[in-house]
């Protein structure tokens, strides 16, 4: 490459062999310049995209944690609701017990007041003198019997029921009263009544009730027994027994002793069963409709052969029979 001419001007001549090299150099410089100009915007776009992605992931994470918190709180809320329901149920039960206790106390007070004013109206063997206080005992056992059950009564006397002086000794020392309970016949002073009077004169172990004997009146007879026994004896327990049941007196006394401190005791062989509404089956219930829809069950109750009730319940029966 040479410079010719003088003065201030001249012509720059480049050899032809340098032209391809210069073109390649310019092309390389152009590419380099272009890369430097556009890398930054492209990098900024990637950074923005990454930041946007991070924000989306953060939002998703927060939503997930919020959902987990709500899910974890739901069982806690359910438990709180269940606890409140249980507390309400317990409060209702406690209120029911308090109301029942007040009703029993009111019935006992009314019974005591009426007996103090009127005295006992029951006709019983060895009736105490008018105006005398009731004998305080541990329990009164009423053995349900009928006019035709002399053999059963003799069997009871020969096995578990003391006789004569031993019966009186049991009353004095243990506070246990045992009597056959029976009403009277539909005909006044009939041969059936005279037979019972003769038997009572011999054994002195009857409690005569103001009741007309009959198989279909057993429930009424039992209620009259409780009422009569409450009027005559101030007992902790009143027991109803059938005359075909043999009782272990020691076991019965021990069982009832464990319940002395409890109010409104009802002790027996508890059961329940379906109410039979069909007329052609055994043990048909004529008043089945009182127990609700067909297929309903009796309330839980003791079998009729033997059961005991405490003073409160017997007094309640006496007032509300």
The tokens for 29 are 């410089």
pLDDT of residue 244: 95
pLDDT of residue 83: 78
The conformation of residue 299, written as its DSSP 8-state character, comes to P
Q: How deeply is 153 buried, as exposed, middle or buried, from its count of CB atoms within 10 A (0-12, 13-18, 19+)? A: buried
On the CB side of 207, how many CA atoms lie within 13 Å of its CA?
Answer: 26
pLDDT of residue 62: 63
Nearest residue to 308 (alpha-carbon basis) of 270, 276, 273, 282? 270
**Beta strands per DSSP E along 5-97:** 11-12
Nearest residue to 246 (alpha-carbon basis) of 152, 148, 140? 152
**What residue spans define the domains of the chain?**
136-268+304-320
Cα–Cα distances in angstroms (integers) from residue 110 to residues 101, 149, 297, 319, in the given order: 14, 37, 34, 8
Q: How deeply is 135 buried, as exposed, middle or buried, from its count of CB atoms within 10 A (0-12, 13-18, 19+)? A: middle
Each residue's pLDDT tens digit, 157-211:
999 999 999 999 999 999 999 999 999 999 888 999 999 999 999 999 999 999 9
* Run of H or E residues at 159: helix 150-159
CB neighbourhood size of 200 (10 A): 18
Claim: this prediction has a pTM higher than 0.85: no
In which residue are the tokens 């008043």 written? 287
pLDDT of residue 217: 82
pLDDT of residue 246: 94
- Contact partners, residue 277, CB within 8 Å, separation at least 6: 284, 285, 288, 289, 294
Q: d(Cα 12, Cα 87) in Å, to the nearest integer?
A: 109
**Overall CATH class of domain 136-268+304-320:** alpha beta
pLDDT of residue 41: 47
- Show pLDDT as tens, one digit a residue, over the chain (321 residues): 444 444 444 555 666 777 777 777 777 777 666 554 444 444 555 566 667 777 776 766 665 555 555 555 556 667 777 878 778 877 887 776 677 667 666 766 665 565 555 544 433 443 444 455 889 999 999 999 999 999 999 999 999 999 999 999 999 999 999 999 999 999 888 999 999 999 999 999 999 999 999 877 888 999 999 999 999 999 999 999 999 999 999 999 999 999 999 888 999 988 888 888 888 888 788 888 887 766 678 888 888 899 999 999 999 998 887
């Amino acid at each position: 490459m040479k410079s010719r001419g003088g003065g201030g001007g001249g012509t720059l001549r480049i050899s032809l062999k340098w032209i391809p090299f210069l073109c390649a150099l310019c092309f390389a410089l152009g590419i380099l310049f272009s890369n430097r100009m556009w890398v930054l915007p492209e990098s900024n776009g990637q950074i923005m995209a990454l930041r946007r992605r991070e924000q989306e992931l953060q939002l998703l994470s927060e939503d997930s944690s919020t959902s987990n918190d709500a899910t974890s709180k739901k069982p806690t809320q359910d438990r709180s609701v269940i606890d409140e329901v249980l507390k309400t149920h317990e409060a209702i039960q406690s209120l029911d017990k308090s109301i029942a206790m007040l009703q029993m106390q009111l019935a006992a007070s009314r019974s005591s007041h009426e007996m103090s004013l009127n005295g006992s109206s029951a006709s019983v063997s060895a009736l105490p003198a008018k105006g005398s206080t009731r004998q305080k005992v541990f329990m009164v056992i009423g053995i349900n019997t009928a006019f035709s059950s002399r053999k059963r009564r003799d069997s009871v006397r020969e096995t578990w029921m003391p006789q004569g002086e031993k019966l009186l000794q049991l009353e004095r020392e243990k506070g246990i009263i045992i009597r056959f309970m029976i009403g009277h016949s539909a005909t006044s002073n009939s041969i059936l009544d005279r037979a019972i009077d003769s038997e009572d004169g011999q054994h002195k172990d009857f409690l005569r009730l103001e009741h007309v004997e009959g198989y279909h009146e057993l429930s009424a007879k039992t209620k009259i027994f409780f009422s009569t026994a409450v009027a005559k004896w101030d007992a902790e327990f009143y027991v109803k027994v059938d005359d075909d049941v043999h009782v272990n007196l020691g076991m019965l006394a021990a069982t009832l002793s464990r319940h002395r401190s409890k109010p409104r005791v009802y002790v027996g062989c508890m059961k329940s069963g379906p109410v039979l509404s069909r007329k052609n089956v055994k043990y048909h219930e004529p008043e089945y409709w009182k127990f609700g829809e067909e297929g309903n069950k009796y309330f839980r109750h003791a079998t009729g052969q033997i059961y005991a009730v405490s003073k409160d319940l017997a007094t309640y029966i006496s007032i509300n029979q």
